[in-house]
Homo-oligomer: A and B are copies of this chain.
Amino acid sequence: MEAVRRKTRVVTAGSLLIGGGHPVSVQTMTRTDTRDVEATVAQVRQLQAVGADLIRLAVPDREAGAALAAIRRRIDGPLSADIHFDHQLALMAIEAGMDELRLNPGNIGGGRRVREVAIAARGRPMAIRVGVNAGSLEKRLRSDRVTAEALVQSALHQAGLLEEAGFRDITLSVKAFEVPLVIDAYRQAALSTDYPLHLGVTESGSELTGSIRSAVGIGVLLAEGIGDTIRVSLAASPESEVRTARTILASLGLGPPGPEVVACPTCGRCELDLAPIVRAVEERLAGVKLPLRVAVMGCVVNGPGEARQADIGLAGSKGAAVLFRKGEITGRLPADRLLEAFLFELDRFLAVSDDAEADPAAGTRGGLPPAD
């Protein structure tokens, strides 16, 4: 599957380039009180560590606006300010050196205020996202039911206000809770404009339910070549949002190469509880960037065969378990301490791989050691 990516203009948000074929980036939003500089800086750094490319901060009042400069000084990497109602907050965010504003011109009073913001932002390496949500659509565009047409019309109208004021580095989002509405709206936006599109399903639910709903909506669009940056909205930690977004991208081959865990669902053939092992392996690999495949399989019959392409794996069955590399059995693992034993082998494998990565000549295939 090689979707032709939709052509868009390129928009700059600090060191991040959005659109124009640049890698699809991952966004999230802090949960801290932005006025609390220490807590916010700490959370931003955590989110950068798990792979957030652009991190948005709520700016509910002037005190939060005043904190942005201090946060900015301590953070390398793209930051976005979420602005509502008060255009002075937008001016404070621009002055503080934020790389993006999320701002709807209609929401800050239009006219002169939008021009002031556009003039202040113009010429800086920053973007403005016009973000329309079904839940807060202007009344004049809302009939009984919010339509995709209305979402796109609103977004284009708001973007037009910025363009009229001379600001062009715009991205758009047209979000809703209902996945089919989201898909329709972005498809229409993709046909109507060359702005990079920020994809998202709003208020999508708990970590699991919201991740599934977001994966469907964002996945369908990305598979059509639509979408330049994504945000998964979960009633969970922002780290969870980033992990889910990264998993969506990786599943479609749109993320950087990284580890994959092949895990058999187990069935009546298998007497081992593999689920905790799979979870532990996924956690162990969370920070790993090597493109390796790990397999956790339930039986010796299919395990090594089905995981032929795995770099390292285990195949367990009724009380027995074997270690294998590249589809070949290379050792046995004590079944009663399977989790610890396999994590130990995985760590050993990663340690050798890290060395190999540091000295590419030492290993084969992207720094991975050959099977032993």
Binding site for B on A (CB under 8 A): 1-2, 29-34, 40, 57-60, 64, 82, 133, 135-136, 177-181, 183-184, 187, 203-213, 215-217, 219-220, 223, 233-237, 241, 244, 247-248, 251-253, 260-271, 274-275, 278-279, 282, 295-297, 302, 305-308
Contact = CB atoms under 8 A, between A and B. Distances in A.
Given A220-B223, A268-B58, A235 B263 contact: yes
A253 B60 contact: no
A38 to B, nearest CB: 14
A135 B205 contact: no
Contacts of A296: 235
A159 to B, nearest CB: 22
A31 to B, nearest CB: 6
B264 A235 contact: yes
Given A57-B268, A216-B251, 17 more contacts: A1-B187, A29-B267, A31-B270, A33-B268, A136-B305, A177-B260, A178-B253, A180-B252, A183-B223, A206-B278, A209-B247, A212-B244, A212-B251, A213-B251, A216-B252, A234-B265, A237-B275
Interface majority SS (helix, strand, loop, mixed), chain A: mixed
A30 B268 contact: yes
A266 B236 CA distance: 8
Nearest to A135: B306
Contacts of A282: 205-206, 209
B262 A177 contact: yes
Contacts of A260: 177
A180 B252 CA distance: 6
A164 B250 CA distance: 41
